[in-house]
Structures are given as structure tokens and as C-alpha cells.
Amino acid sequence: MGLGAADDAAVYRLDEERALIVTTDFFTPIVDDPYDYGAIAAANSLSDVYAMGGEPFLALNIAALPPQLPPEFLAEILRGGAEKAREAGVIIAGGHTVQDKEPKYGLVAVGLVHPEHLLTKGGLCPGDALVLTKPLGTGIITTAFKGDRADPAHLAAAVASMKALNRTAARLAGEFTLRAATDITGFGFLGHAWEMVQASGVGMRLRFAAFPFLEGARPYAREWLFPGGSHNNRAFYGPHVSFAPGIAEEEEMLLFDAQTSGGLFLAVPGDKLSRFLSRAAELGQPAWAVGEVTGPGDEIEVL
């Protein structure tokens, strides 16, 4: 996997048993607390390894830090990233920093996967059920926070969601030998769904009522507090999506909302769905069946 496929990471086969997954991601702060910022950025970076079905084991820091920022803030960003990496069983073995006007932090992440267990965006098959493993709404909630409009409890729940690793969801995908997945980040749910549709040559039928949303996301949507990235997503991916007449415009926008460190979006063969959801419940892994893959085509339908 490389430049020829729009997947979540590069993959290099080492031998018949092992393939190396390599990815990188970093971004500017979306919360005020430096520790939470570092932890969210690290979880987000590691997520692309999980989205490919792998287990991360090694990482490097990438940081751009303003020289006027108090040293204890810098230390907390790096501590947040280091402790999240340790939770994932990942060693941070160095990295690189530069000075910049605005903080930026993330990781280069390296993982391993058995070549036969690789998850890709192009593995959808008609009849597959579509499962989401984290609720949506981090984009609009963090934007409401930046405008001093967010309830602290709503922000705390969004931070907890963004800090949560996708490790259990990835392992569950491997246990059920799934073939198709991505993670939900900056292109919003429908942007990443479209990438899978395009790569697989199939369509999707989604049920809006089945989608999980973080508490606060829907009220903030009614106030139209979406970030600029969500509007960009709608402009770019909107032509590929049709909505049922009863879905309000702000509800449509929630599916375009730019996410940070979102969940995995998995395709589960229809005959495995019940067992998959039961096993997820046993492991304490949230999972919502939100639709299914339809026949050949390139359309996403939201009912």
C-alpha cells in the first residue's frame, strides 16, 4: 500500500507472516489542557495503524513548539503523548522538534500486521453490515468550546472519546477476519465512507436514526456551530450522497462534521453481525450497526 491507494497508512510486506505499517499525523491544539492535547494527538496518530488491522509497537514524536510557551506546558504535551503510547504498548524512541508560532504535535507510528489480516478501504462487499465504534460529534463540540459555547460535561465526554484507543476494535476485526475498515477523522463520517465506496466500487445505505452522537452534538448543530472543515467536507463529498426528505439540514451536516481521533468504521459480513456485536459487548467495545453495503455503484444513501 502506498501512493496508489487512498488507504490510512503505507504497508510494506516483510515476509509471508509480517507486513510493516507506517503512518504519521499531527495537528494544532483542539483543547486547552496540554496533557489531553498530547494524548489525543497520540491516539489519533496510532489510529491509522489500527485502521489497517495492525498493532503499533514503535513511534517517533513530531513537535513544533513556540519558544515562549512555558516549559511545563511543553512537558505536559509530551507526557500526554508518551503515556497514551505506553497504554498502547508502544515505545516512543525519539523524534524531532522545531520552533513554530503555534504548537503542533503528533507521531510517526509503526506497526505490524499479518498480510492476510490487513484491513483496507477497498474491501467492501454487497451485503456487508456497516459498524461504527465511536459516536460522532467531536468537531462541533470542540468548535463550540472554542467559542465559549460548550457545556464542560459535553467537552469532557468528547475528550474522553478522542483519547480512547481503537485497539480493541482493531483486535475484534482481526478475530472476525474482517477485510474492510477505515477510521473517522478530518473528512467526516461521509467523507471517509465515500473513500470506501470509491475504492470498493459499491454503494452504501445508511440509517440516520442508528448513528450515535456525543451528548451536546445535536443541540450545537441546531445552533449551526460547525467548524469550517465540516462545510468543506459537505461541499466536496455532498454530491455523492442523497438524504431522505425527513432529515434536517443540520442533521445532514453532523455526518459531514470533521472529527478528530474518531472510531473505526468496519464492514462485517451479514452472517457474522450478531456474533460480532455480542462479542463487542463482552469486550466492552461500543459498536453500532448503521447500515449496509449495496450492489455495484458509487452512491451513498442516507435514510
Mean of pLDDT values over 103-108: 97
Do 131 and 275 have their domain in common?
Answer: yes
φ and ψ at residue 277, rounded to 5 degrees: -65, -35
pLDDT in tens, 145-199: 999 999 999 999 999 999 999 999 999 999 999 999 999 999 999 999 999 999 9
How far apart CA 50 and CA 166 sit, in angstroms, is 6
Q: Grid coordinates representing 173?
A: 476485526
pLDDT in tens, 254-302: 999 999 999 999 999 999 999 999 999 999 999 999 999 998 888 999 9
**Is the domain of 189 the same as that of 296?**
yes
Looking at the fold, whether 85 and 36 belong to one and the same domain comes out as yes
In a domain, 5, yes or no: no
Assess if residue 34 is contained within a domain.
yes
- For 265, the grid coordinates are 468504521
Q: Which of 204, 172, 181, 126 is nearest to 276 (CA)?
A: 172
Is residue 163 one of the residues assigned to a domain?
A: yes
Same domain, 125 and 265: yes
Same domain, residue pair 151 and 67: no
Is 270 inside a domain boundary?
yes
Boundary (domain end) residue, out of 56, 81, 116: 116
DSSP letters for 119-166: -BTT---TT-EEEESS-B-HHHHHHHHHTT-S-HHHHHHHHHHHHS-S
Range of the structural domain that residue 101 is part of: 10-116
Using DSSP bridges, classify how beta strands 19-27 and 91-99 pair: parallel, antiparallel or unpaired: unpaired
146 and 283 belong to one structural domain: yes
Does residue 18 share a domain with residue 112?
yes
For residue 165, the Cα-to-chain-centroid distance in whole angstroms is: 10
Q: In terms of domains, do 216 and 227 share one? A: yes
* Angle between helix 152-163 and helix 34-51 axes, rounded to 10 deg: 40
Ranges 110-119, 202-211, 215-224, 290-299: which has the least confidence: 290-299
Same structural domain, 199 and 75: no
Cβ-contact 21, 118 below 8 angstroms:
no
Residue 241: which pLDDT band, with cuts at 50, 70 and 90? very high
Domain's final residue, options 70, 88, 116: 116
Residue 2 lies in a domain: no
Both 136 and 250 in a single domain?
yes
Same domain assignment for residues 159 and 263: yes
At residue 221, the pLDDT reads 98
Span 5-51, pLDDT tens digits: 789 999 999 999 999 999 999 999 999 999 999 999 999 999 999 99
Q: Domain check: are 111 and 125 in the same one?
A: no
Q: Is 1 inside a domain boundary?
A: no
Domain total of the chain: 2
Decide if 4 is inside a domain. Answer: no
The enclosing domain of 39 has a CATH number of 3.30.1330.10
Q: Is 283 within the bounds of a domain?
A: yes
Q: Is the pTM of this model over 0.85?
A: yes
CATH at residue 153: 3.90.650.10
Three-class SS state of 130: strand
